[in-house]
A and B are shown apart, each in its own frame.
Chain A
Amino acid sequence: MAEIKVDSRGSACPGPITDLMKAYRNSKNGDIIEIMATDPGIKADAQAWAKKTQNEIISMEDRDGYIVVKIAVKNKK
């Protein structure tokens, strides 16, 4: 049960989801991935990614100039 922080701020679409995917590959079920991004596409893209890969979005938060998305890793085989 690790918390994996990914800083994807400054990276343009589809960079943040690529960073998320890379973190996901090294994760285990029960881990939480927290990704920070400035690309506004992250919200819809993270939702689509979670739906497709059957993992769960815990929260999405707007902070000062960036967005934080927390994902619970559930579907690692």
Chain B
Amino acid sequence: MEKGGLAIVLFSSTADKLIPVGVLSQASANMGIPVKIFVTGWATTLFRKNADKNVMSVPKEYEPMAPMLMEGLKKMNAPSWFEMLKSSKEYGEIGVYVCSLMAGALGIKNKDDLDPIVDDIIGAAAFLEMCSGYQTLFI
């Protein structure tokens, strides 16, 4: 990944998927690796202006294990996924882009309807082009 970076297609909206996005963004910022996040699917509503970022939900099949994990993270004083993403943007090269198709479907007209962490609303082609040579994760 010497010259490349990390492209994350963030589709999910459950805590178990959002935490790794926060961790990978922060770790990449620490390592000087650029990250571009394409927010689409269920994750889109989380990036609306004033949306509640305190996500505790996990997929049904993991629900029995969730309290154990959440309590463990709390005990460790682990920051939330959004705090990690936000702090990584302060010192790293992290771009957050909302999918224009999903924005349209949810009635999001422009950046004013979105959280300030979002850099732009773009299409999939533009995202693919700006991530050329990056490793891609679909989360």
Partner-B contacts on A (CB < 8 A):
10-15, 17-18, 20-22, 25, 45, 48-49, 52-53
Q: Is the interface of A mostly helix, strand, loop or mixed?
A: helix
Interface residues of B (CB under 8 A from A): 23, 26-27, 29-33, 73, 76-79, 84, 87, 91
| Residues B32 and A53 in contact, CB atoms below 8 Å apart | yes
Closest 5 pairs between A and B when the two form their complex, measured CB to CB: A12-B76, A17-B30, A14-B27, A12-B78, A21-B30
**Docked CA distance A11–B30 (Å):** 15
* Residues of chain B within 8 A of A48, CB atoms compared: 31
Residue of A nearest to B78 (CB): A12
Question: What's the Cα separation between A46 and B27 when bound, in Å?
Answer: 11
Give the chain A neighbours of B30 by CB distance below 8 A: 14, 17-18, 20-21, 49
Q: How far is the CA of A52 from the CA of B78 in the complex (A)?
A: 25
- CB < 8 Å neighbour of A22 from B77, B79, B91: B91
